[in-house]
Chains A and B, each alone.
Chain A
Amino acid sequence: NAGVTQTPKFRVLKTGQSMTLLCAQDMNHEYMYWYRQDPGMGLRLIHYSVGEGTTAKGEVPDGYNVSRLKKQNFLLGLESAAPSQTSVYFCASSYSGTGSGYTFGSGTRLTVV
């Protein structure tokens, strides 16, 4: 029972570098989400997808891009990393828009220096 798998688990980037975070789910969920979690704040939605080939902006989308080429994968890209993007990133998926079966990955800790 893998559920939602995120890779990598840790990463250190230099300012201006780019990287892609991968989220994979094996539950055949339609909806997938990317959140960031910062100290003292609730999780904030970056981007989400309501199905293969679709993406939409969330609460804090600036500086990030996403792609959902396959139903099971949701990629989060940082084209030019900034120190303000230092955070813990969580991917989640759900069966439907009502949030049934909402499942989180274990997170990626990203530090931008």
Chain B
Amino acid sequence: KNQVEQSPQSLIILEGKNCTLQCNYTVSPFSNLRWYKQDTGRGPVSLTIMTFSENTKSNGRYTATLDADTKQSSLHITASQLSDSASYICVVRATSYGKLTFGQGTILTVHP
């Protein structure tokens, strides 16, 4: 069964600190992996999309890494801001036209 597991479930950090969120998946065959940010009461918004051949992709202070061999991805947030408080969702697509499998999300809270 295709699954996406994220850790930790929730995380609290102080403003200005860095953090790393983890995503492990069993989706096969793999097409791409996406990280989304979901603010409270809003829909998910795409941060990065990574294919099999990409190891790292950045979007401002967000850097995603992918290890397709171990089926792991991470999202690193640098110099966190209060506006980074949100749920971060890892999503994996199986094959080019396969459905998306969503992780349960990591809830990040940034305190001043």
Binding site for A on B (CB under 8 A): 4, 31-32, 34, 41-46, 89, 93, 96-97, 99-105
Q: What is the interface of chain A, defined by CB distance below 8 A to chain B?
A: 4, 40-45, 58-59, 90, 92, 97-99, 102, 104-107
With CB as the reference atom, state the residue of chain B lying closest to A102.
B46
* Contact of A58 with B105 at beta-carbon distance under 8 Å, contacts A42-B4, A99-B93 already known: no
Are B43 and A45 interface neighbours, CB within 8 A?
no
- Taking the closest CB of chain A, its distance from the CB of B82, in whole angstroms, is 21
Contacts A40-B104, A42-B4, A42-B103 given; indicate if A97 touches B43 (C-beta within 8 A).
Answer: no
Closest Cβ of chain A: how far from B71's Cβ, in Å?
16
Known A-B contacts A40-B104, A42-B103; the reply to A104 vs B96 at CB < 8 A is no
Known: A43-B44, A43-B89, A97-B97. 7 other contacts (CB 8 A): A41-B104, A42-B4, A42-B102, A43-B100, A58-B99, A99-B100, A104-B45
| Cross-chain contact A106 with B104 (CB below 8 angstroms) | no
Once the chains are docked, how many angstroms separate the CA of A90 from the CA of B41?
11
What is the chain A residue whose CB lies nearest that of B32?
A99
Chain A positions within 8 Å of B99 at CB level: 45, 58-59
